[in-house]
Amino acid sequence: MNTYNNSIANKGCVVWFTGLSGAGKTTIAQALEQRLIKDKKQVERLDGDVVRQSLTRDLGFSKEDRDTNIERVTFVAKLLARNGVLVLVSFISPYKKHRETARMEVDNFIEVHVNCPLEECERRDVKGMYKKARAGEIQNFTGIDDPYEAPECPELELMTHKCSVDECVEEIVGYLQKKKLI
């Protein structure tokens, strides 16, 4: 417990969505955000695509830059969470090392594995990235020519090829209620 939390009614937490591109991280985080706003909760969303156009727009996808990207996001998430905000972080975050660092830095870290088979993500190909990766137009794409290190013990695992967005959202809401975070 840090000094900031002592005077704040809400605990704050970081819900960290990890999974392959197209697995459904952004979709679920957006729906969860709306659900929490309806309940008048303080919520903020940090999404990979948005953050890479602002806070970390100077970074690329080298190993070093990926480290820095997650480092900065973790720092911002930590500041928000300790001020009572429910922070929804949606990044592919393929490396265990990065997620474990975030877990150590943050109080109330909830790792959500948005789990969807690669074939289904590729079928969805929301951004057309898999097609480009298969064609060799982009390199080091997670799941194709860069590894995705699946979480071993996530707080939640959501199978988005089997469950609807609403079911996924309700599962997270149920978890947050059980942990008295909302």
Ligand X SMILES: Nc1ncnc2c1ncn2[C@@H]1O[C@H](COP(=O)(O)OP(=O)(O)OP(=O)(O)O)[C@@H](O)[C@H]1O
Q: Nearer to ligand X by C-beta: 8 or 126?
A: 126
The maximal CA–CA distance of the chain, rounded, in angstroms, is: 54
List strand residue ranges (DSSP E) for the chain, in order.
13-18, 43-47, 86-90, 109-115, 156-159
CA dist 122 and 22 (Å) reads 8
**According to CB under 6 A, which one of 11, 25, 82, 98 is a site residue for ligand X?**
25
Q: 163 and 120 in contact (C-beta within 8 Å)?
A: no
CA dist 93 and 150 (Å) reads 10
| Interaction between residue 132 and ligand X (CB under 6 A) | no
> Shortest distance, CB of residue 123 to ligand X, whole angstroms?
10
Pick the stretch among 1-9, 34-42, 73-81, 124-132 that binds ligand X (CB under 6 A): 124-132
What, of ligand X, Mg ion, none, does residue 163 touch, CB below 5 to 8 Å by kind? ligand X
Pick the stretch among 38-46, 55-63, 100-108, 156-164 that binds ligand X (CB under 6 A): 156-164
Structure tokens at 27: 């979709």
Pick the stretch among 36-44, 59-67, 98-106, 162-170 that binds ligand X (CB under 6 A): 162-170
> Shortest distance, CB of residue 154 to ligand X, whole angstroms?
15
Determine phi and psi for 177, rounding to 5 degrees. -70, -45
| Interaction between residue 123 and ligand X (CB under 6 A) | no
| Interaction between residue 56 and ligand X (CB under 6 A) | no
> Shortest distance, CB of residue 29 to ligand X, whole angstroms?
8
- Number of H helices and number of E strands within the chain? 7, 5
User: Which residue number places its CB atom closest to Mg ion?
Assistant: 26
| Interaction between residue 93 and ligand X (CB under 6 A) | no
Q: Nearer to ligand X by C-beta: 91 or 109?
A: 91
CA dist 158 and 164 (Å) reads 10
List strand residue ranges (DSSP E) for 40-97, in order.
43-47, 86-90
